[in-house]
């Protein structure tokens, strides 16, 4: 992302002067801060968010988008540090009353194993959904497709009815770099999706440009990543789940449960749309850790040795 497209914004010009004059940063360091800010502002532009009105949830969604782009934990930490600097500047300028980055966490720079939900926890989340309403049936279909198909939240948000081949039990997904892949979908998930499609066809406020999108908001527009993020946080809280989860957690759970069930790593790589098998291999570490925990918990010679 290039900062030049945002240089006409007064807050960006003032922030650049702050970095030069008050922080006394070198040219290269200053440019790095501005390029990281450009990533945030570009994301906000796609989500119709004003930087001055951004919430912690908005920023957490941004960090989730960095994960989806495959940005390393170290680079994520650097970007978050730059964002925190920007919002501290806005506080100093009295441009905002509170700092939304105060509770924004940086990723661990050690070996990072993503959070995974158990099958029981996923069932508990789905149990919180009121499926007697169209919105509830939509929300259930969202959770089902995140988990049963291992989709990225951006892939789900942009999924179209024309991408579905439900009779053949496949969906066509366009991932990073607009690369297409086919992902299987099970019978129970298909029925849940069809229930939502029936409701969706009854909506009379859908614009022509939005008509092919599968998941729509009440306003007739395709659902945003932030709406999905907030939905999951709300359902997890209602289900009493204290893990720090996001839409991406369902993707991690999808891959982990497949591996635990005996699926081979190459097949999982294909379904996730990973360019490299090295990216998929993180799930072997999760599986090994799970097996170790099971041994430590249940083997008579290992109990209490953790």
Catalytic residues: 152, 176, 248, 251, 274, 283
> Which residues, at least 6 apart from 182, have a Cβ–Cβ distance to it below 8 Å?
170, 171, 172, 173
DSSP 182-239: EEE--HHHHHHHHHHHHHHTT-S---GGGTTBSSB-TTSSBPPHHHHHHHHHHHHHHT
CB 276 within 8 A of CB 266: no
**Helix 282-298 vs helix 265-272: angle between axes, to the nearest 10 degrees?**
130
User: 109 phi and psi, to 5 degrees?
Assistant: -90, 0
The torsion angle over the Cα atoms of residues 224, 227, 233 and 238, rounded to 10 degrees, is: -140
**Strands, DSSP E only, in the chain?**
164-165, 170-174, 180-184
CB 120 within 8 A of CB 250: no
User: 232 phi and psi, to 5 degrees?
Assistant: -70, -40
- Helix (DSSP H) and strand (DSSP E) numbers for the chain: 13, 3
CB 221 within 8 A of CB 210: yes
134's tokens: 């169209």
Tokens 């990723």 belong to which residue?
A: 107
């Amino acid at each position: 992302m290039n900062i030049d497209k945002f240089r006409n914004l007064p807050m960006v010009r003032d922030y650049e002067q702050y970095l030069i004059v008050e922080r006394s940063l070198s040219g290269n360091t200053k440019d790095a801060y501005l390029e990281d800010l450009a990533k945030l502002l570009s994301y906000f532009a796609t989500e119709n968010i004003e930087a001055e009105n951004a919430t912690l949830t908005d920023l957490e969604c941004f960090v989730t988008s960095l994960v989806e782009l495959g940005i390393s934990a170290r680079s994520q930490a650097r970007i978050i540090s730059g964002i925190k600097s920007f919002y501290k500047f806005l506080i100093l300028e009295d441009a905002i009353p509170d700092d939304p980055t105060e509770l924004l966490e940086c990723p661990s720079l050690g070996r990072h194993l993503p959070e995974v939900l158990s099958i029981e926890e996923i069932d508990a989340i789905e149990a919180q959904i009121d499926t007697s309403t169209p919105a509830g049936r939509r929300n259930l279909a969202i959770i089902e497709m995140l988990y049963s198909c291992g989709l990225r939240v951006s892939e789900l948000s942009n999924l179209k009815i024309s991408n579905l081949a439900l009779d053949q039990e496949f969906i066509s997904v366009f991932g990073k770099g607009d690369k297409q892949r086919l992902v299987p979908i099970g019978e129970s998930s298909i029925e849940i999706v069809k229930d939502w499609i029936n409701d969706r066809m009854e909506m009379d406020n859908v614009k022509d440009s939005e008509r092919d999108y599968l998941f729509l908001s009440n306003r007739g527009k395709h659902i945003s990543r932030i709406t999905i993020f907030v939905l999951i946080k709300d359902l997890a809280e209602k289900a009493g789940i204290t893990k720090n989860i996001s839409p991406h957690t369902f993707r991690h759970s999808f891959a982990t449960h497949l591996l635990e069930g005996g699926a081979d790593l190459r097949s999982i790589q294909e379904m996730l749309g990973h360019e490299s098998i090295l990216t998929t291999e993180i799930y072997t570490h999760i599986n090994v850790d799970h097996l170790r925990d099971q041994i430590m918990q249940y083997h008579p010679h290992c109990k209490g040795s953790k």
